[in-house]
Amino acid sequence: MTQLPDAGSPSLKFRERYPLVALILQRLLLSLGLLIAVSMLIYGGVEALPGDFATTYLGQSATPQAVANIRSELGLDRPIVTRYFEWLGNTLHGDFGTSWASRNSVTEQIGKRLGNSLALAGLAAIISVPLAVGLGMLAVHFRNRLPDRIINIVSLAAISLPEFFIGYLLILFFAINFGIATFPATVHDGMTISERLQAMALPTATLVLVVLAHMMRMTRAAILSVMSSAYMETAELKGLSAFRAIVKHAAPNALAPIVNVVALNLAYLVVGVVVVEVVFVYPGMGQYMVDAVTVRDMPVVQACGLIFAAVYIFLNMLADIIAIIANPRLRHPR
């Protein structure tokens, strides 16, 4: 039988006195434990992938002795548990090792690629978040009328289409047929801001279309839930116009679920850039990881997988904490 904590225990007193701080610390510890568990899955999963770097690097005609020498040089002949803890310890110090294929520092390469991926995801977020909130408010204002129906139909169509299909459609129409967009979306250090934005236009548009529909629909649902409240009816009876009531009263009170959905979609933006980067040949983390998988460059694959997992877990934890701060009822679960 599970023993309940003593009423006078320091941990229980701390939770009762500082419930918000206790819940945030709990979420932090859970996220840390989840990240460690994910790191084990990533390392073990990558090790279990078919194929071998030594054979891929040397070719099919390589002798067994040459393959054994490469494996010994890379430490692949040691136990997997020993290699995992060594890798985890180096990772905690910011050292992701050396790429087997290029012999370059994985940390330096990721530093460049991660900046490109974050810039792409950030630009998509800057466009999609206010657009989603605005369209959601507009759909509520014209609910069950033509604008609301058009927005719902378009959003359903956008949700139904996968990222790569949307990307290929944009390439076909805007890069090939009309020639007004750049493809492939290659960026480098010597580009001006306008050239960089032009190169990022199509992948950004793809990401915006992918996340916009979901955020807009959740915004609409959250505001509609608030619209049935008594104070909203009071605001309308006082003569406040429907749109002003939505902007001044409904939207601020629906902020908690909207922020939660936005944070979750931002997590998807960062992690979901893999497919978009491959489609548009964008030099980000996703393209870097896919290139590493093709040559079995395991240090790169493991590092990219861990960073994607860390970003996703962090943003989900942030969404959870925001929900706790915004909703006092979550601080005192029964």
- What is residue 132's predicted lDDT score, i.e. its pLDDT? 85
Q: How many CA atoms lie within 13 A of 186 on its CB side?
A: 3
Report the predicted TM-score, pTM, of the whole model to 2 decimal places: 0.75
Nearby residues of 326 by Cβ (< 8 Å), 6 or more positions away? 255, 256, 259
Q: What is the DSSP letter of 98?
A: B
More confident residue, 15 or 107: 107
Cβ-in-10-Å burial (0-12, 13-18, 19+) of 138 comes to middle
Q: Which two tokens stand for residue 127?
A: 């466009």
Confidence at residue 8, expressed as pLDDT on a 0 to 100 scale: 54
Residues 6 or more apart in contact with residue 54 via CB below 8 angstroms: 62, 66, 67, 70, 71, 74, 76
Average pLDDT over residues 45-55: 70
> How far is it, in rounded angstroms, from Cα 77 to Cα 265?
41
Mean per-residue pLDDT, 275-298: 83
258 or 15: which carries more pLDDT confidence? 258
For residue range 97-127, list pLDDT tens digits in order. 888 777 788 888 888 888 888 888 888 888 8
CATH of domain 114-331: 1.10.3720.10
Would you say residue 323 has pLDDT above 80?
no
Confidence band for 53, pLDDT divided at 50, 70 and 90: low
| Mean pLDDT in residue range 275-284 | 85
Q: What are 46's strand-pairing partners?
A: none
Residue 1 has pLDDT above 50, yes or no: no
Mean of pLDDT values over 290-308: 84
